[in-house]
């Protein structure tokens, strides 16, 4: 695919998709951190977890997204289905820090995952030993907040 016109069309289409993902986030977010401060990012990765498009939101969020996609893809290998949504906040598996939650939706072509749609967004408080996003007295990652990788399978209704 070295035809410059095709490359340009695909590049602009993928960029439009991640920009629209960001606009949907702004229109639907209840949190002021998301709809006013815009502390979130959207991206697309291919099936090999390579970053193929990112919106111009918070660049630091996007750097680790390929590792996060790889972590989720590998953790659920052979069990990824259409309608699945994955949630990750573990910094040891490609997340920035615990208050950033990353949602992944696999995009299928036929029976195969072709892309991963990714949204990483900051949360003001996700639990832990203190309120807010940071615990200055923490001596280990686990004492700051809980971290996890979760899958929810969604159809008409969500059944975790």
In tens, the pLDDT along 84-107 reads 999 988 888 888 777 788 999 999
Residues of the chain with pLDDT under 70: 1, 126-135, 140-160
The H or E element containing residue 74 is: helix 65-75
d(CA 121, CA 124): 10
- Give the 3-state secondary structure of residue 26: helix
Predicted confidence (pLDDT) per residue in 3-13, tens digit: 999 999 999 99
End-to-end CA gap in the chain: 40
Question: What domains lie within the chain, and their CATH numbers?
Answer: 4-159 (3.30.450)
DSSP state of 83: T
Q: What pLDDT is stored for residue 156 in this prediction?
A: 34
What does residue 72 show for φ and ψ, rounded to 5 degrees? -70, -45
The pTM (predicted TM-score) of the whole model is 0.80
Q: What pLDDT is stored for residue 71 in this prediction?
A: 94
Q: Are 85 and 105 in contact (CB under 8 A)?
A: yes
Q: Are 104 and 85 in contact (CB under 8 A)?
A: yes
């Amino acid at each position: 695919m070295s035809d410059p016109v095709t490359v340009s069309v695909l590049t602009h289409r993928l960029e439009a998709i991640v920009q629209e993902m960001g606009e949907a986030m702004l229109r639907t977010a209840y949190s002021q951190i998301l709809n006013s401060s815009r502390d979130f990012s959207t991206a697309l990765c291919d099936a090999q977890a390579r970053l193929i498009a990112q919106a111009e939101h918070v660049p630091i969020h996007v750097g680790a997204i390929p590792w996060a996609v790889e972590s989720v893809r590998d953790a659920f290998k052979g069990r990824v289905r259409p309608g699945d949504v994955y949630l990750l906040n573990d910094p040891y598996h490609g997340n920035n820090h615990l208050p950033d939650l990353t949602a992944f939706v696999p995009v299928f072509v036929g029976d195969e995952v072709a892309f991963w749609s990714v949204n990483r967004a900051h949360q003001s408080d996700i639990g832990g030993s203190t309120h807010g996003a940071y615990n200055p007295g923490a001596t280990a990652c686990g004492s700051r907040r809980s971290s996890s990788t979760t899958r929810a399978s969604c159809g008409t209704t969500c059944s975790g």
